Amino acid sequence: MNQGKIVEYMDHGDFIIALCLQDDGSRLHLLTPTNREMNLSPKRAILISNASINTQSPREELLRKLKKAEEARNRLKEEVDVRELWELVKDEAESYDHADLAQLCFGKEVSDEHVSGLVRAVFEDKLHFKMKDGRFFPNPEEKIFKTLEQVAEEASKEEKLREGSRWLQGELEKKPVQEPQWKDEILKALVDLALYGEESPSLKFGKELLQRCGLTDIREARRILVSLGIWSEDENLDLLRLDIRISFSDDQLRESEQICRAPIAPEAREDLRDLRVWTIDGPMTRDFDDALSLHVEEGRIHLGIHIADVAGAIEPDSALDEEAAHRGTSLYLPRHQIPMIPIALSQEALSLKQGCDRPAISLIATLDQDANLLESRFVQSLIRVEKQWTYDEVNRSFDREPQFREMERLSRILRQRRLKQGALVLSLPEIAVEVTDQGSIVLHKIEQDTPSRSMVAEFMICYNWLAARFCKEHQIPAIYRRQESPAERLSPEETSYVYYVFKQRRKLSPLSIHTEPKPHSSLGVDMYTTVTSPIRRYYDLLVQRQIRNYLYRGLPLYDRQGLEKKRLVLDPLVKNIEGLTRNSTRYWIQKYLAQQIGERFPALVLDVFRNKYRLLLTDVLLIVEVKKENGQSFREGQEITVRIRRSDPWEDFVKVDIEGLRTNGHRANAH
């Protein structure tokens, strides 16, 4: 029986000493030093003394003895060096009871107080020993080292959280607070939160940091970074997520300078400088990679399509080539133009600039008056652009420039021929975003189906199609674009053109990129590659390199396996960048709409669901969703008017209210 014995147990991590007043076998009735009586299961007792106290003594005497025992145990606890004790027994591979360890520690006959002091010290240490079934086991050295590391990390983390949250609060409240030494680490945690949200590698630390600043929404990380001046309000987060480099290294720039200084070897090229060659592009274009020429001789039409010879300048596996492969494509964003190769090359030395001799890979296609292809050849050439034209200038010049008139006629025949072979014309205007120096947003709706744009597009399709055939006929491995027939062909006559385009695009089979040629259904050709933009697209540079190597040496540079390896790396990269470009345009359109709250816009009903409509804002080509309201009933393809209620580019949503059907007398404001 334990009556009269001192019992020790743990409560909320603390050692508690008590006197057993009664033991009925199933519970211990105890008196604590605070004069409180309680019941305890015997299983919870860690130590029970050997010596006993007469429980019949006055209560004051019992409490005094308890207090004295507590003081003695704590005093002896301070004499215990747990690490020294562990060093003594760590290699013995044995376990020890309380008395054994106490005797090793104190080196003499041990009392209840000695045992308690030892146990208290070991429990407080929580590092060198573990307890199981009433016995102590020395922990392995590796475990101790790891535990110490964890303790240090937790202490460091706590200091970072404390100092970091204090600094952030001071910054947000515009109060002067000394920067913590871990400023960069704190900012990185905020950046990770803003970029990756719940998938952030710093999620736990970042959340706790924000919580100590009184913030519970992790999206606040972006606002803080803007407030601190780390990011601008319109920071493109996709650029950061994809780790897209916006500058070139010193080595890459030196390599670029060497290419710029290298002379052209005209003897290795066919001199086509006597041809009248023009570029036709948008007014903001600076990297001219394609040009056209046309001349008629003995009733035959010689159409020249000339592409900048980038492959002849950038050596495979060079620093510039590796960087171009890493980028995959040039990026044209409202406030960022990030070229695939340095500007000294893309806009100067390799660009088909007016009045400059430039190396090219030219396609000379000989046609009859009905645009039937009589013969074609690819050639390494030397050209000189006579004039740089814009699309609008060409559209205004068809009447006075017979070459343009003839080019446009040929392009219409070629286009009609593709349409008969199943091609689909699904072009929509392009929304170009301009952010002025004053920060205002201007949206330009650029029609893609104008005569000059259609003409240039047709000739680029022709070049790429004949390049694909050239590669296949000469067994040159290439990267082809393929597309199966659409699931269904819709009739454009039954609905508005824009509605038809959106519906038909959903029926298209996915585009695939492969090293085996197959038909491209939307273009109406039996095979297709892309090689007309080697300044801007790495896929095009690869195919141009294959063709050029064959023209120069009679064999391709890469085998099919080598190209496939490059494709596997390049394909996801290009898709990510395409998504980035779409997201950027969407962001700026939404920011523009945020400045148009309350304004009316024309919209087209694309889809009708049970509880909502999916609409296209036709002025800005942005798709939004709106809940159905009582009394509303619209069908797909109907033109309606909506009012902008809210637009938040950070959260990627636009809220609109439907005002009703559009009529001839009710038009939205022009923007």
Condensed to tens digits (0 to 9), the pLDDT of residues 211-262 reads: 999 999 999 999 999 999 999 999 999 999 999 999 999 999 999 999 999 9
- Extract long-range pairs of 294-301: CB within 8 Å, 24+ residues apart: 294/403, 294/406, 294/407, 296/406, 299/368, 299/369, 300/366, 300/367, 300/368, 300/374, 301/366, 301/367, 301/368, 301/369, 301/371, 301/406, 301/410
What's the confidence (pLDDT) of residue 664? 46
299: left (phi over 0), alpha (psi -120 to 50) or beta: left
What pLDDT, in 10s, does the model give residues 581-608?
999 999 999 999 999 999 999 999 999 9
What's the confidence (pLDDT) of residue 667? 35
Cα gap 382→393, rounded to integer Å: 26
What's the confidence (pLDDT) of residue 439? 84
**How many CB atoms lie under 10 A from the CB of residue 511?**
13
**Report field, pTM of the whole predicted structure over 0.85:** no
Cα gap 456→409, rounded to integer Å: 12
CB-CB contact of 537 with 573 (8 Å): no
Q: Give per-residue burial for 458-473: e unless 16+ CB within 10 Å, then b.
A: bbbbbbbbbbbbbbbe
Cα gap 628→640, rounded to integer Å: 14
CB-CB contact of 306 with 292 (8 Å): yes
Dihedral angle of Cα 500, 501, 507, 511, to the nearest 10 degrees: 170
SS3 46: strand
What's the confidence (pLDDT) of residue 131? 86
Amino acid at 491: S
The pair of three-digit structure tokens given for residue 393, joined into one six-digit string? 């200038």
Half-sphere exposure of 467 (CA within 13 A, CB side): 33
Cα gap 526→546, rounded to integer Å: 20
What's the confidence (pLDDT) of residue 660? 84
Q: Give per-residue burial for 583-603: e unless 16+ CB within 10 Å, then b.
A: bbbbbbbbbbbbebeeebbbb
What's the confidence (pLDDT) of residue 469? 98
Q: Give per-residue burial for 107-143: e unless 16+ CB within 10 Å, then b.
A: eeebbbbbbbbbbbbbbeeebbbeeeeeebebbeeee
How far from 567 is each of 481, 515, 535, CA to CA, in Å? 12, 9, 18
pLDDT over 90 percentage in the chain: 84
H helix or E strand, kind and range, residue 323: helix 319-327
Helix extents (H) in 493-597: 497-507, 538-553, 560-594
Q: Beta-strand (E) ranges in 226-372? A: 270-271, 277-281, 290-297, 300-308, 331-332, 337-338, 357-367
Half-sphere exposure of 336 (CA within 13 A, CB side): 20
What's the confidence (pLDDT) of residue 276? 96
Cα gap 67→53, rounded to integer Å: 13
Cα gap 124→81, rounded to integer Å: 12
What's the confidence (pLDDT) of residue 146? 92
Q: Give me the residue label for tokens 């520690």.
A: 105
| Strand partners for 657 | 643
Cα gap 123→129, rounded to integer Å: 8
What's the confidence (pLDDT) of residue 326? 96
What pLDDT, in 10s, does the model give residues 39-85?
999 989 999 999 999 999 999 999 999 999 999 999 999 999 999 99
| Strand partners for 380 | 361
What's the confidence (pLDDT) of residue 663? 60
CB-CB contact of 563 with 545 (8 Å): no
Handedness of CA 245, 249, 252, 254 (dihedral sign): positive
SS3 595: coil
What's the confidence (pLDDT) of residue 642? 96
Q: Which DSSP category does 663 fall into?
A: B
Residues of the chain with pLDDT under 50: 664-671
